[in-house]
Amino acid sequence: MTVLWEPVRGAIDTFGIALGDDVTVVAHAASIDREVGSGDHHLVVIGPEVPAESAYELAEQLRIDRPAVGVVLLRHRLEVSVLTQALRSGIREVVQADDHAALVDAVRRSEALSARLGVAAGEPGSGGHVVTVFSAKGGVGKTTVAVNLAAHFATTGARTLLVDLDLMFGDVGISLQLPPTTSIMDLVSMTGHLDGQGLASVVQTHEATGLDVLVAPHDPADADRVPADLVSELIRLARSTYDYVVLDMPPSMPEHVLGAFDLSDLLVLVSTLDIPAVKNLRLAINTLDTLGAPQQNRLLVLNRADLKVGLSAKDVESAIGYPVSVGLPNTMSVPAASNRGVVLAVDEPKNPFATALREFADHKVRPRFGEEPTRNGSRRIGRRRRAK
């Protein structure tokens, strides 16, 4: 299916025959991300009335964001300067607007290339899901939830990358006992031109689960050297090659975290039954609301939900304003697993924490993306839809 970007009315009458039946016409660039994000569109045709600079900008973004989506540019006149700039920005072809036969050919070539790229990227990886695990208080179980969730996805066959964005004190690497070799620091020199090969060269694979992991800098002093732009670039690239990108967060909201929120399809908010955790999470949610983050893309996880500490799940729900999607039990098996470098949800499948976590992943997270789990936990991917 094709998106035709043209602000002038009647474009569908002019180009409809050349573009075929499945065309969605949009007047603004802002609508394009939503259309291509649905995963159904593999071609954006930019009409002759769209300013060339805006066309280049969109093509540059799509090249990183959704490499399988092709861009064809229509111009009233073909000029060398436009052709050169178009090629540089990643536009596949520039076609004279009144040459409908050339447009038909360009569409066909672009669709063939998109089909090959889609397969290379491992569908549905070209539009993977970004799941961010956050709380505004330290020690509530963000890393525990992120690691278990990501590892569970990986063991069910989903290509999954876990990124430790707690840049100062990230402990994903140590809790999975990965050797301290590469880290996100190794990507800093690639900022602005990060590609799949670069990312693959720094990712480590957790052998027992097949989970790919990108760990935080080994030295907390390096945290400031990781630009927020790199983090956004990394997430965009990762979601074009993985089915799931799980982000483990610090208990604060620096710039790179805000950038990651913007790119997240789902926010998993973690709280425990203590007033500081609940209060801080409420304040963080207020900030997200103020920033215009979509409110429907949030799920609340109550960790150590069975502790009798005078605060109930109902109290947390009314303070936070979201229902508790899952209550995870308090169990010494959690720290014991991380001390052994194993993932509880995978290593001890019958443990109550593991069953609750998997239930959450399979019945609360996956359905958000149109995926239904089968009985043995493997994936059945239905019509994909972004939670946004």
Contacts with ligand ATP by CB under 6 A lie at 135, 138-144, 166, 251, 303-304, 328, 330-331, 334-335, 338, 353
CA 357 to chain centre: 20
CB of 331 to ligand ATP, least distance (A): 5
Contact of 302 with 316, CB cutoff 8 Å:
yes
Contact of 365 with 131, CB cutoff 8 Å:
yes
* CA pseudo-torsion sign 259, 262, 266, 268: positive
**Which partner in ligand ATP, Mg ion, none is near 331 (CB below 5 to 8 A by kind)?**
ligand ATP
Residue type present at position 55: A
By beta-carbon proximity to ligand ATP, the closer residue of 114 and 144 is 144
By beta-carbon proximity to ligand ATP, the closer residue of 62 and 277 is 277
By beta-carbon proximity to ligand ATP, the closer residue of 43 and 277 is 277
By beta-carbon proximity to ligand ATP, the closer residue of 281 and 328 is 328
Would you give the binding string for Mg ion spanning residues 112-151, x where CB under 5 A is met? ------------------------------xx--------
| Dihedral-angle region of residue 157 (phi above 0 means left; psi in -120 to 50 means alpha; beta otherwise) | left
Owner of token pair 């009335």: 49
Tokens of 73: 């540019």
CB of 184 to ligand ATP, least distance (A): 16
CB of 179 to ligand ATP, least distance (A): 20
Q: Does 241 bind Mg ion (CB under 5 A)?
A: no
**Which partner in ligand ATP, Mg ion, none is near 358 (CB below 5 to 8 A by kind)?**
none
By beta-carbon proximity to Mg ion, the closer residue of 68 and 281 is 281
Q: Long-range contact list for 82-90, CB < 8 A, 24+ apart?
A: 82/52, 85/52, 85/56, 86/52, 86/55, 86/56, 86/59, 88/56, 89/55, 89/56, 89/57, 89/59, 89/60, 89/63, 90/59, 90/60, 90/62, 90/63
CB of 14 to ligand ATP, least distance (A): 55
By beta-carbon proximity to ligand ATP, the closer residue of 107 and 281 is 281
Q: Using alpha carbons only, what angle is made at residue 38 by residues 166 and 254, rounded to the nearest 5 degrees?
A: 20
**Which partner in ligand ATP, Mg ion, none is near 254 (CB below 5 to 8 A by kind)?**
none
DSSP for 175-203 reads HTT--S---GGGGGGGTTS--HHHHHHH-
Q: CA dist 356 to 72, 108, 221, 345, Å?
A: 48, 48, 37, 9
**Which partner in Mg ion, ligand ATP, none is near 31 (CB below 5 to 8 A by kind)?**
none
**Which partner in ligand ATP, Mg ion, none is near 334 (CB below 5 to 8 A by kind)?**
ligand ATP
By beta-carbon proximity to ligand ATP, the closer residue of 16 and 138 is 138
Q: Does 272 bind Mg ion (CB under 5 A)?
A: no
Residue 192 dihedral angles phi and psi, to the nearest 5°:
95, -20
Binding-site ranges for Mg ion (CB under 5 A): 142-143
